[in-house]
Structures are given as structure tokens and as C-alpha cells.
Amino acid sequence: MTGPSYPVRGKVKLAGAEVSFRLPRTQGDGDAEVRVPVADAAVEGTLGWKRFKTNDQWTYSKMARQSGDLVGRLPHQPPAGKLMYRVVLQKDLERVSLHGQPVVIRFKGEVPQVVLVVHIFCMFVGMLLSTRAGFEFFRPEPNYTNLILTTIGLLTVGGLILGPVVQKYAFGAYWTGWPFGTDLTDNKTAVAWLAWVIAWLKTRRNPKAGLWALGAAIVTLVVFGIPHSLFGSELKY
């Protein structure tokens, strides 16, 4: 919910009536649909957009009415392309913008469902076992080997193998983290994986070096606390 792809949600008041909205911030194939439920037929909507980080002029279009909703469309962009857009509602002489600042939406290619499901499963279970391996430090006779190796395996499959595959399908590049870019999703995956590899090497040589496992678990929690796709792939128009 903290990530830059999660929809913008909120409520505004227009002519004494409350309007709830959900504005998308990510889109796969095709144009992006912006739909606002407004039952009052006297309310009109305008959708404005421009390409992100360009000197383009704003393009405005009137939103159409469909089954009690006001609907507009944002033109499809190449993978990692972004648009900034705003929605303005009007009734008689009263106007209201649905969001104080323009909303940014990023377009992406479609990722095969099986790839996405396995990727997400491995990452979430990897984080779960990472935490469990950290708690092993507090047992009287800790045994780290299986927990650490399973964590490394899941992060390897989910993050270092399927992560780039998902990235390639969605944005046309296998890796956009360091040293090729600033995508924190790629970078934080690499940091978590490296922390566990170091913990495994340390505990393998010295079973009492459990602080390394605890440290790796904390590092993993911290890096995955960073919102997903922050500073992610972005097409330079």
C-alpha cells in the first residue's frame, strides 16, 4: 500500500455530495481507464494528462458517462513510460480536483501469471523464513543451516532469477538496479541475499556466530520495508 503503484484513494465534496475515487497508478496492456462513480448526471468530468518529465502541453478530454460513472482513458505508453494526470469534476459553477497534485501512472508489459505467482510466493516465504532464522538466535541450541540455506534458495529463485524475468516482461530490462540504475527493488533484493550469504558463511565456520543470522534477518526486514518499485524503471522520453 505504500508503493508507488498502489491506487490513489480519497473523497471530495461537490455541491454538498461526497464523491469517492480510486485513481490507478499502474497499467498493463492497452489504455488506462480512469473511472469515477458519480450518480448525479449533472456532474461533468474532465481528464487532463501529459507525459511525465516532459515539456508537453496538457491534453484535456471530457469524461464519458457509463452506468453512473464518469470514465476517461489515458493513452497507452511503452513499458516504463509514465503519464501524469488529473481529474476535475464540475457541477454548475462549482469545480473540484480529485487530488491536490497530479497522479503519476506507469505503464508496463504483461507478466505471465505463473511467473508472477511463483516470484511473489518465493519472496514472501523467503521473508517469513528469514525472520524465523533470525529468531533461531534465541534458542538454547540454535541450528541455522537449513533455515539459512532455504532462505537463500527462496531469495535466489524469487529475487535473483524470477525478479529479473518479471522485470524483463514488465519493463524490457532484466536489471535496473546498481550499477545500471536506481531501482531500489533490485538493489534491496541483492542486499538481503548478500546478507544471508555472509550469515551462512559465518555460521558454517562457527555455529555460535548466530549474531550474523540475527543481523541478516534485521537487514532483510529493513530493506523490504522500502516500498516496492521505489525509484523503479522509468522511460526517458
Average pLDDT taken over every residue of the chain = 91
Show the cell assigned to 146. Answer: 537449513
Least confident of 1-5, 29-33, 139-143, 166-170: 1-5
Contact 62, 46 (CB under 8 A): yes
Pick the most confident of 26-30, 106-110, 170-174, 193-197: 193-197
What would the pLDDT profile of 57-73 be if each residue is shown by its tens digit? 999 999 999 988 999 99
**With bands split at pLDDT 50, 70 and 90, how would you rate the model's confidence at 181?**
low
Answer yes or no: is pLDDT of 34 > 90: yes
